[in-house]
Structure 1
Amino acid sequence: MVSSTALAEHDLWIDARRKKVTALDGALSLVLTHWSPAGDPPVDDVTAREGQPADAVLTRLQRADIETGATQEGYRIWRQDSPAQQAFHEIEYYDHDPAWVLPGRFELVDDERVVPFEHIKDDGATRGLPVSGDLVFEVEGTEYRLNAFDTNYGGSSKLQLVFGDRTNGVESYGAGRFLFLDHPAFDAPGTDRELAPGDSIPITIDFNRATVPPCGFSNQMNCPLPPLQNRLPFPLRAGEKRVRFADGFRL
Structure 2
Amino acid sequence: MVSTQTIPTASDAYAEWARARRQAVTAPQGALSLVLTHWSAPGEPAVDEAVARDGQPDEALFTRLQRTDIDTGLPQEGYRIWRQDSPAQQAFEDIDRYPYDPAWVLEGRFELVDEQRVVPFEHIRDAGATRSLPVSGDLVFTVDGTEYRLNAFDTVSGGTAKLQLVFGDRTNGAETYGAGRFLFLDRPAESRALRPGDSVALTIDFNLATVPPCGFSNQMNCPLPPLQNRLPFALRAGEKTVRFADGFTL
1:25 has 2:29 as partner: yes
- For residues 113-124 of structure 1, the aligned pairs below 5 Å read 113-124=117-128
1:95 to 89, 94, 99: 99
Matched length: 244
CA distance in 2, matches of 1:236, 1:154: 27
Q: Which residue of 1 aligns with 2:133?
A: 129
TM-score (norm 1): 0.96
Is the aligned partner of 1:226 residue 2:247?
no
**Cα deviation per residue 1:45-93 (whole Å; 9 max; x = unaligned)?**
1100010000000000100001121110000000000000000000000
Q: Secondary structure at the match of 1:39?
A: coil
Letter paired with 1:70: L
**Within 2, Cα distance between the matches of 1:26 and 1:221?**
11
- Secondary structure of the structure 2 residue equivalent to 1:31: strand
CA distance in 2 between partners of 1:196 and 1:11 (Å): 38
Which AA in structure 2 matches 1:63? R
Match of 2:113 in 1: 109
Distance 1:113 1:21 in 2: 32
After TM superposition, where is structure 1 displaced by more than 3 Å over at least 4 residues in a row? none
Residue 4 of structure 1, CA deviation: 5.2
Report the counterpart of residue 161 of structure 1 in structure 2.
Answer: 165
Query: Which residue of 2 is the match for residue 49 of structure 1?
Result: 53
| Shift, 1:154, TM fit | 2.1
Distance of 1:28 and 1:39 partners within structure 2? 30
CA shift, 1:155, in A, is 2.1
Aligned to 1:250: 249
Task: Tell me if 1:150 matches 2:150.
Answer: no
Please state how far the C-alpha of 1:153 moved relative to its aligned partner: 1.4
Secondary structure of residue in 2 paired with 1:14 = helix
1:138-185 CA deviation, whole Å, 9 max, x = no partner? 000000000000011122110000000000000000000000000112
RMSD over aligned CA atoms reads 0.9
Deviation at 1:6, TM superposition (A): 0.3
- 3-state DSSP of counterpart to 1:204: strand
Structure 1 residue 224: deviation in Å?
A: 0.1
Q: Matches of 1:50 and 1:146 in 2, distance apart?
A: 44
Q: Does structure 1 residue 60 correspond to structure 2 residue 64?
A: yes
Residue from 175, 180, 189 that aligns with 2:179: 175
- 1:10 corresponds to which residue? 14
For the residue of structure 2 that corresponds to 1:9, the secondary structure is: helix
Question: 1:240 maps to what in 2?
Answer: 239
Normalising to structure 2: TM-score of the pair?
Answer: 0.96
Q: Which amino acid aligns with 1:120?
A: I
Deviations 1:173-215 (A, max 9, x none): 0000000000112x3x3xxx41000000000000000000000
Matched, 1:84 2:88: yes
The one-letter amino acid paired with 1:66 is I
Partners of 1:176 and 1:129 in 2: how far apart? Answer: 17
- Residue 162 of structure 1 aligns with an amino acid whose one-letter code is V
CA distance in 2, matches of 1:14, 1:69: 39
Amino acid aligned to 2:241: R
What percentage of residue pairs aligned between the two structures are identical?
Answer: 75
Asked if 1:216 is matched to 2:220, the reply is: no
Give the secondary structure class of the aligned counterpart of 2:95: strand
